[in-house]
Amino acid sequence: MSVQHNYNNFCKPKLNKLLSALKLDKNYIKAEGNYLYTDDGKKVVDFVGGFGVSILGHNHPELIKEMTTTLQSNVAINSQCSVRSESANLAMVLNEYIDNGHNYKVNFSNSGAESVEAAIKHAYKVHFDKVRREYERITRILNDFYYKVEREGIEIELPGEENDLIDFRNDLDEYNLNQFESFQKSPVIAGLKGSYHGKTCSPLKVTFNKSYREGFEGLSSIQAAFVDHDKPQRLKEIVNELACEFYYPVLVGSKVEIHTLKITRVMAFIMEVLQGEGGIKPVPEKTLEQLAAIHGELKIPFILDEIQTGCGRLGSIYSYQDTALKSIAPEYITLSKALGGGLVKIGATLIRDDIYDQDFGILHTSTFAEDDLSSKVAIKALELLKANDSELLKRVNVQGEKLLNGFKELQQRYPEIIKNVRGKGLMIGVELTPLLTRSPFFRATGKQGVLSMLVASYLLEYHNIRLLAPLTTMLKGNPGKNRMSILRVQPPATITDEEIEALLSSFVEVLDIIQSNNEYL
Ligand code: PMP
């Protein structure tokens, strides 16, 4: 049986068929540096880089050495619930690269989605506790008011039509409880349009132990509120609009006034500085400036998702530090992908010390999180990025510029086919136009958004170059709606000038074929 047959039968049939139709159903059996090797002997230059993982290239020898020597020393991988020395070392290293005067507690996990999950869960807990405290305080104010009036027989004038003190108290009590429940039922997380933060749902809902579940029930009904890239001020409005309002009585003379305490239901704002899965879209610097400017007054935590942009992909460990967001001390930073050097699966959620909930380290755990092996490999990966005065990180920007400029030149030469070229560091997107003026074949592929996959197929088949587009382009979309067709170029930092040249010149070949409507080639 072929591996393709087995993959089809036992893993992902639909994906397998689509890959097969595009001749992308390769079986890579070896990977080294910038290359992947197929089982039929092809050496392929990898410009996908594990969707952002392999900034150090595949199987970096220093990382292999670190991993094998660690394993040969019979490292204690399964010593859960003990003092994890290498996790502590990695957490310390991750803190060293942050210079905003804060320390961060680091919660380790196994993947990007899990590290986002930890940030959201923590933010929810902190916000929920705050809303609950305020609700309880307001309830106390209401009760104290009621008993004082009752006990002392104070003559009061209730607001509006109200004339019965008990009804008045019960109405306010019920109203406040509803408001409190409205937060529990629909907490909000704000984000930017086009964002991507992972795909897991919540197994916590079906976890029976109440201590783990308690207080987190509302997490499964989170609502998202998205903000346009060019309207960061909208975030302020959303925070203000989506709020719980608690009412409490204040006695002014003999008159009872109703005062309001407003607490937003928006528990956090999450963003990437350059959106990867959303189509390689850098958030405009002006937007980042505005977001930095309102961060303090919003009083909601920012979760900076650096899962794809961090650990070298944009030329630094934390890419937000090269933007206007540097002026803030983000409450949360999430990392994964390149953190494990492409060898180990690891995610990290950095939580600013001053907001850290002490129970979180007990409430939120995972069997494989915090093992010494992955921590050691991650420390080594960070060390390699920083070695020789950050030689590799600097190279990311140098090679990235060459790629970006090369594709921008192609865009000028083929404006009808290349719609946009954008990105930063080694995270570059080449967006193709829907090709409305081309032959029926190219028109159809352009309209369905699979043109980028077709280009990827050609480059692999004829030039042994691996590029990919987001997989969603291969799903059925809304009929009639043009879908974004984008190629993601995310090679390792070690990508050479010759390999960049080879990519650009083979791209020209594809563009010429499309330009001449030569779909038979
Ligand atoms: N956040 C961002 C910004 C990502 O790019 C990704 C993965 N593409 C994730 C979260 C989720 O990571 P994972 O696939 O490891 O769950």
Protein residue closest via CA to atom 2 of ligand 1? 197
| Ligand 1 centroid to residue 271 C-alpha, Å | 12
Q: What is the pLDDT of residues 61-111, one digit of tens each?
A: 999 999 999 999 999 999 999 999 999 999 999 999 999 999 999 999 999
CA atoms within 13 A on the CB side of 160: 9
* Mean predicted lDDT score pLDDT of the chain: 93
Question: What confidence score (pLDDT) does residue 480 get?
Answer: 47
| Ligand 1 centroid to residue 71 C-alpha, Å | 28
| Ligand 1 centroid to residue 373 C-alpha, Å | 22
Question: What confidence score (pLDDT) does residue 469 get?
Answer: 84
pLDDT of 475 higher than 70: no
Distance in angstroms (rounded) separating the CA atoms of residues 208 and 213: 8
Asked whether the beta carbons of 246 and 263 are under 8 A apart, the reply is: yes
| Ligand 1 centroid to residue 196 C-alpha, Å | 7
Percent of the chain with pLDDT over 70: 96
For residues 194-222, average pLDDT: 86
Pocket probe mutation, ligand 1, options 336, 345, 471, 490, max atoms within 8 Å of Cβ: 336
The neighbouring-strand residues paired with 45 are 35, 465
Asked whether the beta carbons of 196 and 276 are under 8 A apart, the reply is: yes
Pocket probe mutation, ligand 1, options 337, 346, 374, 471, max atoms within 8 Å of Cβ: 337
- CA of 336, closest atom in ligand 1: 15
Confidence of residue 39 (pLDDT cuts 50, 70, 90): very high
Q: What is the pLDDT of residues 382-427, one digit of tens each?
A: 999 999 999 999 999 999 999 999 999 999 999 999 999 999 999 9
The neighbouring-strand residues paired with 43 are 37
Distance in angstroms (rounded) separating the CA atoms of residues 186 and 171: 22
| Ligand 1 centroid to residue 198 C-alpha, Å | 5
| Ligand 1 centroid to residue 130 C-alpha, Å | 29
Asked whether the beta carbons of 247 and 258 are under 8 A apart, the reply is: yes
pLDDT of 123 higher than 80: yes
- CA of 272, closest atom in ligand 1: 3
For residues 511-521, average pLDDT: 79
Asked whether the beta carbons of 347 and 339 are under 8 A apart, the reply is: yes
| Ligand 1 centroid to residue 111 C-alpha, Å | 8
User: What H or E segment, with its residue span, contains residue 173?
Assistant: helix 165-185
Which candidate, 318, 484, 336, 468, places its Cα nearest to that of 393?
318
| Ligand 1 centroid to residue 342 C-alpha, Å | 14
Distance in angstroms (rounded) separating the CA atoms of residues 72 and 408: 48
Asked whether the beta carbons of 57 and 33 are under 8 A apart, the reply is: yes
Distance in angstroms (rounded) separating the CA atoms of residues 338 and 307: 8
CA atoms within 13 A on the CB side of 438: 23
Residue the block writes with tokens 């104070």 = 154
Give the angle subtended at the CA of 284 by the CAs of 280 and 286, to the nearest 5°: 170
Pocket probe mutation, ligand 1, options 53, 110, 273, 277, max atoms within 8 Å of Cβ: 277
Helices (H), 11-46: 13-21
Pairing between strand 465-466 and 43-46?
parallel
Interface predicted TM-score (ipTM):
0.99
For residues 4-28, average pLDDT: 90
For residues 273-292, average pLDDT: 96
| Ligand 1 centroid to residue 112 C-alpha, Å | 5
Q: Which residues line ligand 1 (CB under 6 A)?
A: 51, 111-113, 116, 196-198, 272, 276-277, 305, 307-308, 336
Q: Which tokens belong to 474?
A: 């291969």
Pocket probe mutation, ligand 1, options 197, 314, 332, 339, max atoms within 8 Å of Cβ: 197
Question: What confidence score (pLDDT) does residue 197 get?
Answer: 95
Distance in angstroms (rounded) separating the CA atoms of residues 189 and 491: 32
For residues 244-252, average pLDDT: 95
User: Between the CA of residue 21 and those of 75, 379, 450, 507, what are the distances in Å?
Assistant: 45, 41, 12, 21
User: Between the CA of residue 227 and those of 234, 291, 444, what are the distances in Å?
Assistant: 6, 11, 32
